[in-house]
Amino acid sequence: MAYTFLEKMREENKTRFGADVGPAQPDRHFDPLRADLKNSALSFIHDRCEKLNFREDAPYSGRSSEPRQIPYDMEMDINRLCLERELEKFIDSGTADDAYNVYYCYLQMFFGCYGRSKKMVELLSEYESNGSSLLMKHRDHYSHSVYVFALGLAIYERNEAYRRAFREFYGSCIDGTDAGSDREAACMFLEYWGLTSLFHDIGYPFELPFEQVLSYFEAEGVRRGSGGVYISYRDTEVLTALPDAAKARLKELYGRDFSSLADVFAFDIARTLGEEYGVSEKELADTITRKPTSPESFGYYMDHAWFSAMRLFREIAGTAEGASDLRPIHISALSAILMHNSLFKFAIANKRPDTPLKMQLQPLAYLLMLCDELQCWDRIAYGRNSRREFHPDAAEFELSGGAIRATYYFDSAERVKIEDYERRHAEWKRSGAGEEPRLKAYSDMTGGRFKADIERIVDTADAPLTVAADVRATDRSNKHTYLSSSSFMHLYDFAVALNARYLYGGNEDKAEPELLEEQFESLSLEYQLSNINQAKSFSSYLNAIDCFYTDKPVDCEEIVRFSPAQTAIFAPMEHKRWVLEHISMGWRFGDEYETVPLPEGESLPEGRSMYSERKAFREQMRRHKLTMDGLPSDREIREHYEALPETEKGKDYEPFNSMLKLIKKFDGLRIYKLHS
C-alpha cells in the first residue's frame, strides 16, 4: 500500500463517523511492469518511498487549506503525491514551467520553504534564457536538471546493483531497523539524489559571464586563451569560508579542523577516490582552490560545478540551525556536484585514464555523471553554434534487468541535415582526406562516440549501456505554448496574488506583499501548487479570449477588468482544471462533511467553530461536493459546471478582477487585448 497514512486515516474515519467516508487511495498513473523512464520514476516515488518524512507520532498539526486541519503524516503522504503528480506532468511536457513545479515540491518537502531559496533556482533559468544567446555554445540546464533527477530515480528503481551500492556506501546514514532499510534507503536516496541532481548546475550564472567575454573574441576568430581577454574571480573566500557553526559540526563529524570548504571537499574526495586514482588530498585542495581564480590553468574554462557546490553548501549550512543538521551524505552530494563537470575528468581520472568510475566508489557522483551525459534530449539551444547543431528532441529508455537501452529521436523535418552529413561522410570514407565530418549529436550517436565517451567516464559493467538513434516527427503538442510570458520570478508572486484574490475584493490598495506571502505559505504544498498551476493555466484562459499577459510594455490595450462575456469563456476552463486536479490528487465526490455530527465523545477544539471543523472534516475525508468521480469527459465537466448554482460559478470568475489589481500592484504584470 503506497500511501499508508491515507489508508490509516480512512480506517480512523470509519471508526469516528461510522461510515467509509475516505480518504481513498489515489489512482496509479503508471504501469509498474513497464521499465521506461516515466513508469520507473513514478513507481519509485509511489511504491518505494512509503512513510517519507513521517514522524513517530501524528498529531493534528498538518496543513491543508488551513493549518492544523489534518494529521502531520497525512500531510506528508499528500506532499509525496504532489511530487509524483508534478514529476509526471514534467516528463510528459519537458517544459520549464513544469520543471519549476518539481523544484517547488522538492524545496518545500526537504528545505521547508520555497520562498527562502527561490532565487537560487530562478536565477539559473532567468540567466540562461536572457543571457545565453550571446554565447557561442550553450544549452538549457533548468529542465535538463529535472530530467536528470527523473532518470536517476528510474535507474535506482530498476537497477539492483545500484541500490545495493547506495545502501552499502551510505548505510551508516540510514536510520531505522534492518527490516525497513530498503524503504529508508529509498527515502534517503530521494532526498539526496534530489539535492545532487536538481542543483548540480545552479552555478551557471557564474560561468556564463566568463563565456560571454570569450565569445566576443571567438566571434572574431580568436582561439580560446590566445590573444583574448578572459575574466577570473577574486574574494572567493566569501563562498569557501566556513561559518563557525559549520566548522564545529564538521569537526564533530570527521574529528579534524578544516580551514575552508575547499579542504572539506578535498578530504571527502580523497578518502573515497584517492587510492583508486592515485590523487592526494593536498593536490585536490590546491586544484579546487585555484578553480575560480586561475582559469588559465584549466584550459581557459570556468567550472560552474565549483560554484554550484559552494553556493549550495551556503544554502544548506549557512545558518547555525542548518549546520547542526549537516551529515556526511550532504558533503558526499556536494562532492558529486563539484566533480561532475571537469574536476573528475581532468584532475582525478586523467591520472588513471583506463579506470572509469565504479558506482561502488561514490554512488551519487557516479549516477550524476551518468545521467548528466545521458540527458541530451529536449534541451533548448541558446548559443549560436549550439543552435546550428543537430540534437535529439526526444528519447525512450528501456531499463529492465538493470541495463540501460536508450533510443534518441531526431526531428524528421531536419532530414536534409542527415542526408548532407551522410553524403559528406561517404565522400570522406572514399577519399580519406581531412577530418571525419560530424553532425553533432547525430553522428556521435550513430557512430558510437556518444556511448564511448560515457564509458570513459563511468564503468557500465553493472549498468550495461546500449545507444541507438532514429528519426521521427517531433511532437510538441504537450508544450502548451501561448503568447503570454513573464519571468519565473513572477510565477510564485502570481500564485500568491491568485491565492489572495478572495480576500481583498474592493480593498486591494490595503494589501501588503509580506502579508500575502505569509498567507500563501500557511497553505499546504497541495494548495500552494493549486495556485501555481492556476497561474500557469492563466495563459491558456487569456489565449481563449484573445488576451495575453507580459511584464514588458507593449502597444496594446490594457485590460483592467474582465467583462461578463470574457468570464463566461474562461470560467468553465478553470472549473475543468480544478475538477481534474482534484481527481488526480485522490479527491472523491461527497458532501458528508457538511452534515456529519461531531464523533461521540469529541468536542470542538478551542477557538474552532463548527464551520471551521467541517472544513477540517472535508480535508480529512478528501471529499468535496463540487468535484467528480471517475474519468469525466470534457462534455460531462461542462455540464457539471452549467448545473452549479450561480454562487458557486461566481467562485470561478468573480475574484479574478481582484487578482488583476493585485498582480499589477505587486508583480508588475499587465494584461492586454491582442486586438482592439
Question: Distance of CA 55 to CAs 74, 90, 174, 419, Å?
Answer: 11, 29, 15, 60
User: What's the burial of 136, exposed, middle or buried (CB within 10 Å: 0-12/13-18/19+)?
Assistant: middle
All 3 cell numbers of residue 435?
A: 577530418
**What's the whole-number mean pLDDT along residues 644-665?**
74
Assigned C-alpha cell, 298: 584549466
pLDDT digits (tens, 9 = 90+) for 348-366: 999 999 999 999 999 999 9
Residue 383 pLDDT more than 50? no
Q: What is the DSSP secondary structure assignment for residue 241, as one 8-state letter?
A: P
How far apart are alpha carbons 425 and 211 in whole angstroms?
A: 31
β strands within 418-529, DSSP E: 465-472
Higher pLDDT, 303 or 561: 303
The pLDDT value given to residue 667: 60
| Nine-digit cell string for 675 | 486586438
- Across the range 511-537, mean pLDDT stands at 87
Phi and psi, residue 437, nearest 5°: -65, 150
Q: Which of 45-54, 213-222, 416-425 has the lowest mean pLDDT?
A: 213-222
Residues 444-454: tens digit of each pLDDT = 999 999 999 99
Cell, residue 532: 501555481
pLDDT attached to residue 388 = 62
Q: Return d(Cα 503, Cα 469) in angstroms, integer.
A: 54
First to last CA, the chain: 56
HEC secondary structure over 261-308: HHHHHHHHHHHHHHHHHCCCHHHHHHHHHHCCCCHHHHCCCCCHHHHH
Residue 224's pLDDT band, with cuts at 50, 70 and 90, is confident
Can you tell me whether residue 250 is helix, strand or coil? helix
Which one is predicted more confidently, 647 or 463?
463
pTM of the model: 0.94
Query: What is the C-alpha separation between 622 and 69, in angstroms, rounded?
Result: 12
What pLDDT was estimated at residue 179? Answer: 47
The pLDDT score that the predictor gives to residue 408 is: 96
What residues contact 431, with CB distance under 8 A and at least 6 apart?
none
- Residue 433's pLDDT band, with cuts at 50, 70 and 90, is confident
CA 368 to CA 195: how far, in whole Å?
11
Nearest to 87 by CA among 140, 34, 35, 152: 152
Contact indicator for 112, 98 with CB cutoff of 8 Å: no
Distance CA 500, CA 517 (A): 9
Q: What is residue 313's predicted lDDT score, i.e. its pLDDT?
A: 95
The pLDDT of residue 659 is 72
Q: Which residues contact 338 (CB under 8 A, 6 or more apart)?
A: 265, 269, 288, 305, 306, 308, 309
pLDDT at position 113 over 90: no
Q: Of 34-38, 138-142, 212-216, 506-510, which has the strongest mean pLDDT? A: 34-38
DSSP class of residue 58 equals -
623 beta partners: 588
Has residue 421 got a pLDDT over 70?
yes
Q: Which residue has the cell 563537470?
A: 341
Confidence of residue 455 (pLDDT cuts 50, 70, 90): very high
- Tell me if 331 sits within 8 A of 262, measured CB to CB: no
How many CB atoms lie under 10 A from the CB of residue 486?
20
Q: What is the pLDDT, as a whole number, of residue 411?
A: 92
Cis-peptide, bond into residue 356, ω within 30° of zero: no
Q: What is the pLDDT of residues 540-596, one digit of tens each?
A: 888 899 988 887 788 888 888 888 889 889 889 999 999 999 999 999 999 999 999
Across the chain, mean pLDDT equals 88
- Beta-carbon contacts of 343 under 8 Å, excluding residues fewer than 6 positions away, are 287, 288, 291, 303, 305, 306
One-letter amino acid at 37 equals L
What gap in Å lies between CA 265 and CA 129, rounded to an integer? Answer: 31
Q: What is the rounded distance in angstroms from the CA atom of residue 140 to the CA atom of residue 128?
A: 7
Instruction: List, in sequence order, the alpha helices (H) in 159-199.
Output: 160-169, 181-198
CA dihedral 215, 216, 220, 224 (to 10 degrees): -40
Name the DSSP letter for residue 645. -
- pLDDT of 487 strictly over 90: no
pLDDT tens per residue across span 272-288 = 999 999 999 999 999 99
Contacts 24+ apart (CB under 8 A), 644-648: 644/575
- pLDDT of 111 over the 80 cut: yes
**DSSP string covering 492-522, please?**
HHHHHHHHGGGT-TT-GGG--HHHHHHHHHT
Give me the half-sphere count of Cα atoms (radius 13 Å) on the Cβ side of residue 641. 25
Task: Tell me, letter by letter, the H, E, C secondary structure of 81-149.
Answer: HHHHHHHHHHHHHCCHHHHHHHHHHHHHHHHCCHHHHHHHHHHHHHHHHHHHHHCCCCECCHHHHHHHH
* Ranges 249-258, 370-379, 380-389, 432-441, most confident: 249-258
Cis peptide before 441 (omega within 30 of 0): yes
CB 238 within 8 A of CB 157: no
C-alpha cell belonging to residue 549 = 499577459
Q: How far apart are CA 107 and CA 117, in angstroms?
A: 8
Above 90 in pLDDT, residue 247?
Answer: yes
Give the pLDDT of residue 386.
Answer: 47
pLDDT range class, residue 114, cuts 50, 70, 90: low
Contacts of 536 (CB under 8 A, 6+ apart): 97, 491
pLDDT for residue 125: 61
User: 404-411 and 465-472: which strand pairing?
Assistant: parallel
For the record, the C-alpha cell of 536 comes out as 500557469
Question: Stretch 77-93: mean pLDDT, rounded?
Answer: 97
91-104 mean pLDDT: 91
Predicted local confidence at residue 119, as pLDDT:
65
CB under 8 A, 24+ apart: contacts of 641-648: 641/571, 641/572, 641/575, 641/576, 642/572, 644/575
Tens of pLDDT, residues 159-191? 999 999 999 999 888 765 454 589 999 999 999
Specify the 3-state DSSP secondary structure of 613.
helix
Residue 52 near residue 187, CB atoms below 8 Å: yes
CA distance 630 to 349: 55
